[in-house]
Amino acid sequence: MRRRLRRVAAVVASMLLTTGAGGAVVSAAPIGAPILRAPAGGYEELVVPSHMGPIKIQVQWAARGGSSALYVLDGLRAPHDHSQWTSDTDVLQRFADDNVTLVFPVGGNSSFYTDWYRPSSTNDQASAYRWETFLTEELPDFLAGYGVSRTDKAIVGASMGGGAALTLAAHHRDQFRFAGSFSGFLNPTFPLWNEAVRAALWDEGRFNVDDMWGPVGDPAWSRNDPTVQAELLRGLPMYVSAGNGTPGAPDLPYGAGNTVNAMGLEATAAVAARMFGDRVAALGIPARVDIVNGTHTWPYWGQALATARPMILDALGAH
């Protein structure tokens, strides 16, 4: 009888942790037996234990309780309190009726969503980033307790997150069935482009790129270069997009100064997308690569994800 009571208590505790009101922060994984089916619809904010400390995620559950998931990665200036995907695009509404759980990791500015060699030595970072470990081990294990599959997943990202999405998919093919990059920096080992990465990390938080991937020529640079690792992506459905730097109506709210900067950044992203496209084409690897009108700005990334949406749902069987 005591054993039965303990099992009942575990189930009740699990229900309390997983059925909180929308927006409530849940700080522990479900207790007791694993939940075999994800919650059907709704939005939550959860806190996931990790080697980096507690990491917040924003989650929109699959509309009909399906087990598929889409990881959506932020850009270089990822805020500490939310994913810009949820505030600057209509992604939540666009996928609201789809049977796929959207997962937005929060934070990780200047991280490139990779495992760093050591904490950044130029800004007193307390501990090293371990984002690859988080996204491919700790987060899938945590979400498995909510009925989310460890292997039936897609991953996409914008800007910094775009290259990271392809890199993570390349090295963890057992986990991802689709990958997408929107204005990603897809060839960081190309001559002098490493200096652009150095400058970007310094500008966003005074991070030291040498503490991330070591000096130029270190194997970590090649490992995190999607163009170099293209062979590992063979057979994976992919969508790569970038703008040509031409501004349009979506740029108007951002002002002239920001738009000029976004034009230059996107012209570089377009070159990277073409280089990646040429590489996979040379290898005979199918991938959709689009160069469209637009700049390095959130409305265009929202449009890119809208374009990718049917491809994602097809790859996951999550209609």
Residue with token string 């984002």: 131
Residue corresponding to tokens 């307390």: 126
Count the residues in the chain: 319
| Structural contact between residues 57 and 105, judged by C-beta atoms closer than 8 angstroms | yes
Q: How far apart are CA 110 and CA 105, in angstroms?
A: 14
| CA separation for the pair 313, 139 (Å, rounded) | 21
In the numeric block, which tokens belong to residue 112? 């490139």
Is 132 in a helix, a strand, or coil? helix
Contacts of 90 (CB under 8 A, 6+ apart): 302
- Residue 194 CA: distances (Å) to CA of 31, 55, 167, 243: 45, 28, 16, 21
Neighbours of 132 (CB within 10 A): 21
> Tokens for 15?
């229900």
Kindly report the number of other CB atoms within 10 A of residue 305's CB atom: 25
Beta-bridge partner residues of 288? 239
Residues with catalytic roles: 159, 266, 296
